[in-house]
Structure 1
């Protein structure tokens, strides 16, 4: 659908491997950080392993990959755009999502700091914050009809997001149509946060 876009698939928790793969893939004008893990555990049962994995993927990987790409953009003197895929869970507490909500909230704030610091280099940084998206991870975590009905009933549009809903929002934020948008979070949640 988008010629010239090449996804990189690698273990982003491995900073050396990420540095090598991402560093060799440039030059960059655009970056989408779309890696996430959602290990759902009640607050009192959160394990160190789940916390560390979630921090590594949901926060640390975004920070590191963005550093690599932003440094290249600055060195080339080209403007750019970075979109970090966050979640509605960054702004609304959800049961059994202590670590996920927290790491996505951290990602939102990281994105705002990035926007502030990279703006003088003409690099825009925003987040998209979708509701549940019908990816493999979304289906696994929301396959229980009772659980999913409770969430869908709180979404005014009455459904979870499809991948295309998020992709279209990302494409907008990467495009010149959003040339004055930076440090923003675009909700793709069917109205969940207003209900």
Structure 2
């Protein structure tokens, strides 16, 4: 009897593009892919933070380079992806939120969030996929979504709407590109403590609500996302596409 062999979680020889990589979840994903052996192109709008990240990754003997990129500027973004690709792996962690009650939502707030979280994410995923198709390569495209793509939340109507949209186009792209062996998935974190989310956790009533909803009884850390992104990027998830990896501490289990 021949024993099966566990598919590799290694990413040696793969090129990865990570957007929103200058901080938080995006930075953690870049490091995780780099530790697994990928050559990582870290992309964001802030060149100083990117330069610092690249330096630290190289000191840790990872392969990294920086690309200044604004995902919401679709035309320029797609040109840069074409010029710097193809990429075997995409992790789209660029995103923003403007939280507030639904009745107070302004058109400007809606457009700002949707332009990055939906429009930018859509055309970024398209651009990376087109690069793979041009050279006939397989790939793994990962959009950082949210548990709010599957539930609702206080003061999060616009944010939840955009993340529900990400889940929709991810599934459709996975269906269309499956025969080309281009996989498209999402990662859906719960509330993760980062500098950008600190203001939410500073509100005692919100922190209590969050901790009550998370069945494991603690908020997320960026490290909680790192194993999941390596899994989806690697051959270990070769039959996984069109799905959402919930890293939510059980929030959506009920």
TM-score range, shorter chain: over 0.9
For 1:143 and 1:121, how far apart are their aligned partners in 2?
A: 46
Measured on the aligned residues, the alpha-carbon RMSD in Å equals 1.1
Q: Deviations over 1:75-116 (max 9, x none)?
A: 110110001100001111101101001100000011000100
Residue 141 of structure 1 corresponds to which residue in structure 2? Answer: 200
For 2:76 and 2:219, how far apart are their aligned partners in 1?
A: 34
When Rg is computed on C-alpha atoms for both structures, the one with the higher figure is: 2
Residue 42 of structure 2 corresponds to which residue in structure 1? Answer: 7
Bigger fraction of residues in strand = 2
For 1:136 and 1:17, how far apart are their aligned partners in 2?
A: 28
| Structure 1 consecutive aligned stretches of length 4 or more whose deviation exceeds 6 Å | none
The answer to whether the aligner puts 1:162 opposite 2:162 as a matched pair is no
Aligned to 1:125, which of 160, 184, 191?
184
CA drift at 1:16: 2.1
Residue 58 of structure 1 corresponds to which residue in structure 2? Answer: 117
SS for the counterpart of 1:6 is strand
For 1:106 and 1:94, how far apart are their aligned partners in 2?
A: 16
SS for the counterpart of 2:151 is coil
Task: Give the alignment of 1:42-57 within 5 angstroms.
Answer: 42-57=101-116
Aligned to 1:112, which of 156, 160, 171?
171
Q: Judge which range, 79-88 or 15-24, deviates more.
A: 15-24
Task: Give the alignment of 1:13-52 within 5 angstroms.
Answer: 13-52=72-111
Listed as ranges, the gaps of 5+ residues in structure 1 are: none
TM-score, length-normalised on structure 2?
A: 0.74
Q: Deviations over 1:36-74 (max 9, x none)?
A: 111001111001111001111111111111111101101
TM-score, length-normalised on structure 1?
A: 0.96
Aligned 8 A contact 2:200 2:206 in 1? no
- Say how many residue pairs are matched: 195
